[in-house]
Structure 1
Amino acid sequence: MLPSPTPAPAKPWYQRWFGWVPVPRSLLGRMLLLTLLSVLMAQGLSSVIWLSQLRATQLEGLVTSARSLAHSMSASVSYLRSLPLAYRPLVLDQLRSMGGTRFVVTLNDKPLDMQVLPLTPRKSAVLESVHEVLRDAMGNDVDILVTFVSPDDLRIFNGGLKLDELPRSWAHYALTLEPVKPPVLVTQIQMAPGEWLYIASLLPEPYTSLEEEGLPAQQVWFIVLTSSFLLLFIGVLVHWQSRPLKRLARAARDMSLGAAEVRPVAEGGGSEVVEVGRAFNAMRERISRYLIERSQLFSAISHDLRTPITRLRLRVELLDDEKVQAKFSRDLDDLEMLVKGALQCVKDTDIHENIEPVDLNLALDCLIEPYLPPQGNGRVSLHGRALAAYAGKPLALRRCMGNLIDNALKYGTRAHLHIEDNDSAFILHVDDEGPGVPEQRLEQVFEPHFRLSGKQQGYGLGLGIARNIAHSHGGEVTLQNLREGGLRVTLYLPRFSD
C-alpha cells in the first residue's frame, strides 16, 4: 500500500492573482519587479489623466479654430453676395491668377458629390461648429453642406476635376501639406437657384491632421528614464542591504551543517539587519557552548559507566548460582549495548568536519565496490550519476549513504540504487527486496534501538543516524513500501546556491 500523496501547498495570493507574472526568487529581483510594476502603474495612470486633459484642451482649441474659420467663410460669402452677379466669376478668376487665398473658392451649378471621410469625434466637433456659425450668419433657409474629404477624392469645378489636374498655383498651396495629406474641409452653400458657392480649406496648425495623437514621444522617454533611474537606485540599495543577509545565510547554513568553525557574522546594513546579525551571533555562541558541554558530558558518561559495568561483571563471575549468574549477565549485556549504542549515535552524528565539495559518485563507488561481482555476486546495482559535486561533510555523507545500503542488504538481500540529480537537489533511492515495513511503523523505525524483530542484530541506530546526518545538511530520509514488494529509502539533499 502506497502512502497517500501529500496535498500540494496553496499558491501565494500574488501567484493566484498575477499568475502570468514570473516572480523572481531573490529579494533584489522581487523588489525590482515590484518597483517596476508600481512605477508603470503610477506613470500609466498619470499619463492617462494628462493625456485626457491634453486632448480636452486640444479639442477646445480645435473648436475655437473651426469657429474662427467659419466666421471667415461667412465674411467671404457676404462679400461675394455684395458683388453683382456678373462680377463674381471675374473676382474669383483674379484671385486664382494671383495665387489664391487660404480658401479655394468656386461657383458651381450644383453641389459636387464626393466620397466623405468617416467621422471621428474631432471631425464631428468641427462640422457642428462650422455649421452652427454659418446657420447663425445666414439663417436656416439656406442649404449648407459641410463635409471632410480626402485630397485624393477632392473634386473642384463643375467638371469634377481632381486636385492634381489643376495648376499648382490655383489650389495646391492652399490644400496640400506635404508629406502629410490632411483632410480637406469642403463647404457648399447655395447662393441662388443654380448657383452654389464651393469653399475648400484646411484647418490651421496645429489642428491640420485632426488625428488624436497617442502618448507623445517625450512623455514615453520621461517614463523610461525615470523608471530606469529608480530601478538603478533601488537595485543598488537592495544589493547593499542584502549583502549582510547573504553572509548571515551562509553562516547559518555552515552552522547547520556542523562546520568545525563558524566565525561571527559581521554586523552591518540597516538597524533591523544589525539586530538579526547580533541575535545570530549570540545564538551561535550558545549553541557552541552546548555542543562542547554535550561532548564533555558523553565522554564523562562513557568513562563513568564502563567502570561499574566492568566491576559488576567481575562480581557476577563470583556467584555460585549459574541461573542467577546468567540473568545478571544478560542484563549487563543489555546495559552495555545501550551505553555503546548511545555513544555510537552521538559519535556518528556529531562529526566535526569542514564543509567542502564532495564527489558523490566516487563515494558511492567506494561504498558498493565490495558488493560487486565476483566478491559480492552483484548484490548492489547503481543507476544514474551525480551531475556535480555536493557541498557537505565527506565522512558524514559516506556514513549516511553507507548506513542506507547496509540496511537494505541486511533486511532485503539486495540493494538497487537510483540517482536523480538536478540544480535544486541530489536524490538517492535505495530499493531492497525485503518484506518492507508496516505502514504504521514507517516513522517508528527511525527511533534509537527500535527493531521490528527481536532476532535482528545491531543497535537499531542506522536509519536514525542517516536521518540525523541528512537533517544536518538540510535534507531528509523517507521510507516507502514498493507496490511490487520491498522498501524504498529516499535520501534528499538540497543544493544551496550562494
Structure 2
Amino acid sequence: MMRLLRLIKPNSLVTRTLGLALLAVVLAQGIATAIWYSESKQKELLGIQDASESMANMFASTVTFFQSLPVRYRHIVLDQIRNMGGTRFFVSFNKEKLIVEPIPDTQLKQASLSAVKSVLDKKLTKVASISADFSHPDNLRLLKNDIYLSDLPKSWAHHTLTLSPIDPPILVVQIELSSHEWVYIAALLPAPYVTLDDTVIAREQIVFLLLSTTLLLGLTYFLMRRQVKPLKRLAKAANEMSMDIDQSPLAEEGASELVTATRAFNRMQQRIRRYVSDREHLFSSISHDLKTPITRLRLRAELLESDQKRSKFNKDLDELEMMVKGALQCVRDTDLHENNAFIDLNEMINSVIEPMNFSQQKVHFAPVEMDPIVAKPLAIKRVLTNLLDNAVKYGFSAVVKVETSEDWITVTIDDEGPGIPEEKLEQVFEPYFRLATDDQGHGLGLGICRNILHGHGGDLIISNRSLGGLRAQLYIPPSLEV
C-alpha cells in the first residue's frame, strides 16, 4: 500500500487522469442517479397512491357491509370468515381505540396514508372518526392494547399480516362507528410497495457503483502507467542528454503521439551529436593550425632590430596564444564526457581542501550526514577545485557548508575577501572577463563552473555577504539516476 502511495504523485499525469476519471464517474453517476430517482420516485408515488386507494375502497366496503348487519350478528359473521380462511386483511371489533406505534415518516408513507384517508372520508360519511397509520409487526396490537400479534394463534393473523423475512410495516385503520365501538383493520400493502423503502441508493447499488468505479480507475491507472512510461523515458533521456550526448536511441513505442515525439527526439539527438563532434574537430583544427603560424611569427619577431617593436609584437602574440588556449580550455572543460556515478560529497570536498590546508588551515569544513549524490565525479570536482582555489587565493580563507533538501544539495562557500561590485556579479561569468590584475588566469573558470552545473540541472549563484566577503552557492539536484 505504501509503495502504491509513493508511486501516485499528486501532480503526475497518472494521478490527474485518475482524478479526472473519478470526477467524471461521480458526476455521471450522480446525474444519472438523480434523474433515475426523480422519475422512479414519481412513478412509485403514483403507484402507491393507486394501491392505497384500492385498499381503502375495500376497507370502506367491509365497514359498510358490517354496518348493514345487526350488532349481535357482526361477531358471528366475523368468526365465520376467520374459520373459512380469513380475508386479505385482519378485521376486529374493539371497545376502544388501540395504541399504534408508528414507523418513521417517509414520503411513501405519507402518500399512502393521504390516499387511504381521502377515500375513507368520501366513502364513510356516517362514522364518528377515522385514523390510519403504519406499525411494525413487532409492535402491532390486536383486539386489546395488551395483546400483540405474536400472542395470537398463527392461523388468526400471521399469514395475513406477516411476510418473512421482509417483515414489512402494517397499515392499521381504526374507524369509530359509535361510542365504544371501533372497527379495526390491519393489512399489508400489495407488492411492490410492501416495504415503504425510501432509500435513494440501495446497498446493492452502492456495491455495484464501488466495484464499477474501482474497475474503471484500475484499468485507467494501468493504461496511463503504460502510456506514461515512454514519456518518462523521453524526459529522462532529455535530462541526461545535457550531460551525456552519446546515448543510445530511445525505443519508439506507446501512443502515436509519443512515437512521433520520440522519433523527433532521436533525430534531434543525432543532429546535436554531429554538431558537438564537428565543433570538437573545428577547435582541434584551429589549435593545430594556429600553433604553427604563432610560432613562426615569434621567430620572425626575434629578427626585428627594435627592442620596443619586438616587445610589442611578442605581447600581441602572447595575447593571441592565451585566447586560443582559453577557448580550447573552455570547450574541453565543459564537455562532460564521463558517466554518472555515486559521489560521497563530504569525501570529495575533503580531498579538494586537503592540499590547501597542508601548511595552514585555510578552508574550514564540517561534514554532514547525507546520502551519496549521483553526478559526474570529475566535473563536480573541477567545480569545487576552481571555486575553492578562488576563495583561498582572493578571499584568503573559506568556510564550506553543505545543506540537503528534497529539491537540492546546496554547497555554500564563504570567503573573507573584498567581494565583487554588485554591477559585475553576472559579468564575471562571461569569457575572458577578469577583475584581478595578475596574469594567472584567462577569466574562464566561473563560466566553466556554471556551465558544468547547468549540465547537471543545477546552478551557481554568487553574491556579496553582508559582513564582507563573497558567497558562492552550488545547487546540485539529488534525483539524477545512474
Establish whether TM, by shorter chain, passes 0.5.
yes
Query: Does residue 108 of structure 1 match 2:88?
Result: no
Partner of 2:212: 226
Partner of 2:268: 283
Query: Does residue 44 of structure 1 match 2:30?
Result: yes
Question: Aligned partners of 2:17, 2:254: CA distance in 1, in Å?
Answer: 17
Residue by residue over 1:55-105, the C-alpha shift from the partner in whole angstroms, topping out at 9 and shown as x without a partner, is 333333322221222122112112211211111233345556777544333
The AA in structure 2 aligned to 1:421 is T
Alignment match of 1:88 (pick from 74, 95, 102): 74
Query: Does residue 411 of structure 1 match 2:390?
Result: no
Partner of 1:9: none
Query: Does residue 195 of structure 1 match 2:178?
Result: no
Deviation for aligned residue 1:348? 0.7
Partner of 2:4: none
Partner of 2:131: 145
CA RMSD, 1 decimal:
3.0
Identity among equivalent positions (%) equals 45
Question: Aligned partners of 2:237, 2:390: CA distance in 1, in Å?
Answer: 34
**Equivalent position SS for 1:86:** helix
Alignment match of 2:469 (pick from 483, 486, 490): 486
Seen in structure 2, the aligned counterparts of structure 1 residues 90 and 456 have a Cα distance that, compared at 3 Å, is farther
The AA in structure 2 aligned to 1:226 is S
Matches within 5 A, 1:354-393: 354-372=339-357, 375-390=359-374, 392-393=375-376
Seen in structure 2, the aligned counterparts of structure 1 residues 162 and 385 have a Cα distance that, compared at 3 Å, is same
Query: Does residue 465 of structure 1 match 2:422?
Result: no
Question: Aligned partners of 1:413, 1:316: CA distance in 2, in Å?
Answer: 40
Seen in structure 2, the aligned counterparts of structure 1 residues 230 and 76 have a Cα distance that, compared at 3 Å, is same
Alignment match of 1:396 (pick from 379, 386, 392): 379
Partner of 1:265: 250
Partner of 1:310: 295
Residue by residue over 1:313-344, the C-alpha shift from the partner in whole angstroms, topping out at 9 and shown as x without a partner, is 33444444444444334333333322222221
Q: Indicate if the aligned counterparts of 1:65 and 1:204 stay in contact, CA closer than 8 A.
A: yes
Which structure 2 residue ranges, 5 or more long, are not aligned?
A: 1-7
Alignment match of 2:332 (pick from 314, 337, 347): 347
Residue by residue over 1:367-403, the C-alpha shift from the partner in whole angstroms, topping out at 9 and shown as x without a partner, is 122234x53425231342441330x322112112222
Residue by residue over 1:84-129, the C-alpha shift from the partner in whole angstroms, topping out at 9 and shown as x without a partner, is 1111233345556777544333323443454544532111101111
Partner of 1:14: none
Matches within 5 A, 1:319-330: 319-330=304-315
Query: Does residue 301 of structure 1 match 2:286?
Result: yes
Partner of 2:41: 55
Deviation for aligned residue 1:468? 0.5
Question: Aligned partners of 1:276, 1:137: CA distance in 2, in Å?
Answer: 81
Q: Return the structure number with greater relative CO, CA threshold 8 A, min gap 6.
A: 1
Question: Aligned partners of 2:296, 2:420: CA distance in 1, in Å?
Answer: 40
Q: Indicate if the aligned counterparts of 2:244 and 2:337 stay in contact, CA closer than 8 A.
A: yes
Alignment match of 1:436 (pick from 413, 419, 443): 419
Residue by residue over 1:281-330, the C-alpha shift from the partner in whole angstroms, topping out at 9 and shown as x without a partner, is 22122212211111111112222333333333334444444444443343
Matches within 5 A, 1:442-457: 442-455=425-438, 457=440
Q: Indicate if the aligned counterparts of 1:386 and 1:426 stay in contact, CA closer than 8 A.
A: no
Question: Aligned partners of 2:307, 2:397: CA distance in 1, in Å?
Answer: 42
Q: Indicate if the aligned counterparts of 2:91 and 2:184 stay in contact, CA closer than 8 A.
A: yes
Deviation for aligned residue 1:452? 2.7
Seen in structure 2, the aligned counterparts of structure 1 residues 273 and 152 have a Cα distance that, compared at 3 Å, is closer
Question: Aligned partners of 1:127, 1:386: CA distance in 2, in Å?
Answer: 76
**Equivalent position SS for 1:190:** strand
Question: Aligned partners of 1:252, 1:165: CA distance in 2, in Å?
Answer: 80
Seen in structure 2, the aligned counterparts of structure 1 residues 356 and 102 have a Cα distance that, compared at 3 Å, is same
Matches within 5 A, 1:247-266: 247-259=233-245, 261-266=246-251
Q: Indicate if the aligned counterparts of 2:149 and 2:157 stay in contact, CA closer than 8 A.
A: no
Seen in structure 2, the aligned counterparts of structure 1 residues 295 and 385 have a Cα distance that, compared at 3 Å, is farther
The AA in structure 2 aligned to 1:266 is A
**Equivalent position SS for 2:366:** strand
The list of structure 1 runs, each at least 4 consecutive aligned residues, that deviate by more than 6 angstroms after superposition, is none
Partner of 1:71: 57
Q: Indicate if the aligned counterparts of 1:371 and 1:380 stay in contact, CA closer than 8 A.
A: no
Deviation for aligned residue 1:155? 4.3
**Equivalent position SS for 1:296:** helix
Partner of 1:17: none
Deviation for aligned residue 1:497? 5.7
Q: How many residues align?
A: 473
Q: Indicate if the aligned counterparts of 1:430 and 1:488 stay in contact, CA closer than 8 A.
A: yes
Which structure 1 residue ranges, 5 or more long, are not aligned?
A: 1-21
The AA in structure 1 aligned to 2:14 is L
Seen in structure 2, the aligned counterparts of structure 1 residues 448 and 275 have a Cα distance that, compared at 3 Å, is same
Residue by residue over 1:13-72, the C-alpha shift from the partner in whole angstroms, topping out at 9 and shown as x without a partner, is xxxxxxxxx963443333333223322322332233223333333333322221222122
Residue by residue over 1:475-496, the C-alpha shift from the partner in whole angstroms, topping out at 9 and shown as x without a partner, is 2111233333333222222223
Deviation for aligned residue 1:140? 7.9
Q: Indicate if the aligned counterparts of 2:379 and 2:452 stay in contact, CA closer than 8 A.
A: yes
